[in-house]
Amino acid sequence: MTQIKFGHIIFYILLSFLFAASSFGEQPITKAIYTLPLKSPAFRNKSPGQISKYLKKCGINAVVHVPFDNSIINQLRKNGIKAYAELSMFCGSYYWDGHPESRPVLSDGSLAEMDGWYAGICPSQQWLINQKIKEAENIAREYPIDGLWLDFMRWPTKWEAKAPKIQYTCFCKSCLKRFQDETGIRIPEELKSTKEVSRWIYANHSENWYEWRSDIIVETAKKIRDAVTKYRKDAIIGIFLVPWREEDFDNAIYKVIGQDIEKLSKVIDVFSPMSYHLLCYKDTGWIISLTQWIKLRTDKQVWPIVQATDEPEKMSAEEYEKALKAGLAGGSTGVMTFTAEATLEDRNKWEIQKQIFVQIK
């Protein structure tokens, strides 16, 4: 037993070295900030050129969720800084108001409620998928972006908690119709209530249900990719992943969230696990293990996005340094900081980030 455990340790150490050697030796390391808060005192009254030169001086070579301003995007790229857009997919209570059919139906027949700030949207709504494809196409046509990150590309549940409220969704008319049409499975007509239908599906066709839900996410991601690359052939597509693995909440990453990273790797270039360790009540070593888990299952790049915000408690500059270094370990080929505004408000965090980024060539 001792030998087996020791062997596992050696195995993971070797994997880390192999990932590091291949990743850091063959391609540049992405050192990204998430958002560019133009109203921050650091950028206020400065030209796009001045902002870009300042970011470059701080070792930053990518901005994710870039402002839709061609003067800024062009100056970033002129200074060797990649400009990545973000597209928010299935989230927002405003959809509930204009399109009540988009509000997820839970397995007991009730409608999903707000969970703090979070309002999930049913991902099977074809009108919304079409709208998002059009948005992606417009972004790629109008702005010289280097790529696009998909956010809230998943089925509903707010995960940023120690014990998240798992939402078993969605059993709306659209989902039940698409599930039957696309799988050939027929729900017995005698089942009248949503609770009866959901119990029947989970009892008889749970695997088909999980697979169908994950396929919705993959197929939508592919359509977004096609829309972007229609205008930006070399654009990369990234996705923000819920930071769960199979052992978390009974494989909820697949059964509940519907993010199948093996399937997604066919259409996604970069995976960005949302490694917010304080929000998830984890230590910084957890960030490394998430990266390794994704690397073992895909052949794609991993750029973790690490927490700098003071949630649910104050994060020290020293703790942020540990998180940032963890985000650069485990075989990652880049890291993002969440958020640029948080690090700019705490200049100690910004200076630590600058030191780490400048040292990486």
Question: What does the pLDDT read at residue 4?
Answer: 34
Per-residue pLDDT reduced to its tens digit, 139-168: 999 999 999 999 999 999 999 999 999 999
Q: How confident is the model at residue 179 (pLDDT cuts 50, 70, 90)?
A: very high
Position 228 in a domain: yes
Question: What does the pLDDT read at residue 27?
Answer: 74
Per-residue pLDDT reduced to its tens digit, 269-311: 999 999 999 999 999 999 999 999 999 999 899 999 999 999 9
Per-residue pLDDT reduced to its tens digit, 208-245: 999 999 999 999 999 999 999 999 999 999 999 999 99
Q: Give the total number of structural domains in the chain.
A: 1
Long-range contacts of 140-144 (CB under 8 A, 24+ apart): 140/227, 140/228, 140/229, 140/230, 140/231, 140/232, 140/235, 141/231, 142/68, 142/70, 143/68, 143/70, 143/73, 143/83, 143/85, 144/70, 144/73, 144/74, 144/77, 144/83, 144/232
Cβ atoms 75, 49 nearer than 8 A? yes
Average per-residue pLDDT for the chain: 93
pLDDT at 21 over 90: no
In angstroms, the Cα distances linking 259 to 62, 217, 268, 335 are 25, 7, 12, 21
In angstroms, the Cα distances linking 81 to 229, 256, 274 are 20, 36, 22
Q: Which domain holds residue 253?
A: 87-139+152-235+247-268
Position 109 in a domain: yes
pLDDT at 5 over 90: no
Q: How confident is the model at residue 12 (pLDDT cuts 50, 70, 90)?
A: very low
Q: Which residue type sits at 228?
A: V
pLDDT at 176 over 70: yes
Question: What does the pLDDT read at residue 26?
Answer: 61
Q: Which of 76, 62, 56 is nearest to 30 (CA)?
A: 62
pLDDT at 320 over 80: yes
Q: How confident is the model at residue 314 (pLDDT cuts 50, 70, 90)?
A: very high
Rounded to two decimals, the pTM is 0.92
pLDDT at 2 over 60: no
